[in-house]
Structure 1
């Protein structure tokens, strides 16, 4: 393995943590091979320096699929921060229960020490069959499962949609003889 390839190993470990754990990730994905492609990379074996991937960055690991314009990985001093930027960054991953999470945002930041993922800039997170949340900023704490959202200073709103838990599967018979319920689009 050449020195440049060896310098990307910490990056791969860092990227593996972006969606590891929590309700928004399939836990077995952590144990899968990660593939990262980009038009260019500028990484150093010196962990105090950033590792930058640019141009059509595509990261896959198990069911995790991330597409961004740029990935900026900062590590060293016991810290690890990853900033994904794009127009927008697209992320999807299957959850342990078989459902899917789809997210888009202008930027996604992962802070390992705080165990948080921050989606910012027209952030939208959808879980078909469960609901969705959108706003200028969504913060997900992977350790606690807490989700906070809000607008940037000075405006904007948070939008949430919750699907009913007792939603009958498509094609289920209407046992009560009531009128057919309106169809709902999954997000």
Structure 2
């Protein structure tokens, strides 16, 4: 049995970051203007309270396209410290630096910018050409590359990792299921 690098199917999680780590998300997106559209916005000019966006939130920046029913952005010291997208589901799509697409859906996407930890919860599904990851809860620490998913009360984890050789038969279904270690 070959060891699987869990960061490969999960590197896409960083795309949620509006200030994503350059190695994981399309680096050029960070230099693009960010466009935000929502039915309602509630925020304080001094940043003393989180900015709450609701009513069909759409955030785009370069190839990044995030959509949610609600977004909460906390600012500390003039910089975002936490971004939470909530939806039924919240969705995220981005093109990675290598040109491959990434799609993620979850009921809640919570990114702690300060700690560089992302937590996706509720019917999580992450897809990219090299594979998929699905479960109820996925935690990704971008500083260490550590991914934790499944486990007690978090349901089972389902992963499918496609072979590098794209001509390999794709008919086989039923990827790998494993409890969190």
TM-score w.r.t. structure 1 length? 0.75
Name the CA distance, whole Å, in 1 between partners of 2:76 and 2:164. 44
Equivalent residue number for residue 67 of structure 1: 67
Equivalent residue number for residue 32 of structure 1: 32
Residues 79-130 of structure 1 deviation map (CA, whole Å, 9 limit, x = unaligned): 71111100000101001111111000000001011112211111111112x0
Query: Which portions of structure 1, spanning 4 or more consecutive aligned residues, are displaced by more than 4 angstroms?
Result: none
How many equivalent pairs are there?
Answer: 157
Which protein shows a greater Rg? 1
Instruction: Give the secondary structure class of the aligned counterpart of 2:153.
Output: coil
Equivalent residue number for residue 42 of structure 2: 42
Equivalent residue number for residue 86 of structure 2: 85
Name the CA distance, whole Å, in 1 between partners of 2:45 and 2:155. 42
Unaligned runs of 5+ in 2: 1-14, 173-181
Contact 2:70 2:85 in 1 (8 A): yes
Equivalent residue number for residue 115 of structure 2: 114
Name the CA distance, whole Å, in 2 between partners of 1:155 and 1:16. 21
Contact 1:18 1:117 in 2 (8 A): no
What is the CA distance between 1:184 and its match in structure 2? Answer: 4.7
| Superposed CA RMSD | 2.3
Are 1:58 and 2:33 an aligned pair? no
Equivalent residue number for residue 162 of structure 2: 163
What is the CA distance between 1:183 and its match in structure 2? Answer: 4.1
Contact 1:53 1:71 in 2 (8 A): yes
TM-score w.r.t. structure 2 length? 0.78
Bigger RCO of structures 1 and 2 (CA < 8 A, at least 6 apart): 2
Instruction: Give the secondary structure class of the aligned counterpart of 2:127.
Output: strand
Instruction: Give the secondary structure class of the aligned counterpart of 1:49.
Output: coil
Name the CA distance, whole Å, in 2 between partners of 1:20 and 1:35. 16
Unaligned runs of 5+ in 1: 1-14, 169-180
Instruction: Give the secondary structure class of the aligned counterpart of 2:97.
Output: coil
What is the CA distance between 1:155 and its match in structure 2? Answer: 5.2
Contact 2:16 2:111 in 1 (8 A): no
